[in-house]
Amino acid sequence: MIKNNIIALSRVKKIAEKRGEIVETKGPNKPKHLISAYLFFAMEMRPKLHAAGFDASGVELGERWRFISQEERQRFQFMAVKDSERYYWEMAAYNNMGHNAPTPPM
């Protein structure tokens, strides 16, 4: 699957270069994108589902996400907010490339 995606991206890149379009690639130091509350939930539940005998498909994860308690959902949403703060500060540092980059609050 990953190999097919890489091949498809390289084809798109070649077509864009033939047209004379500028092709932007991800910088090597660019921070990873923020993680949503659902993705934190999925990362935590996937090993538990495998241990219980489920295949941890997106359908099963989605069903469990829909029916978790509000307190449990808030825990994952808090994790997502913290990760979005991390992403904000890392992107600010990346965009400034170390020149007067803001420092995260303590």
Angle between helix axes 37-52 and 58-66 (nearest 10 degrees) is 110
Per-residue confidence at 7, pLDDT binned at 50, 70, 90? Answer: low
Q: What is the pLDDT of residue 2?
A: 46
Average pLDDT, the chain: 80
Give the residue with greater pLDDT, 91 vs 74: 74
pLDDT at 5 over 80: no
CATH number of 27-96: 1.10.30.10
Q: What digits encode the pLDDT tens for the residues 32-79?
A: 899 999 999 999 998 888 888 877 678 889 999 999 999 999 999 999
Domain boundaries, the chain: 27-96
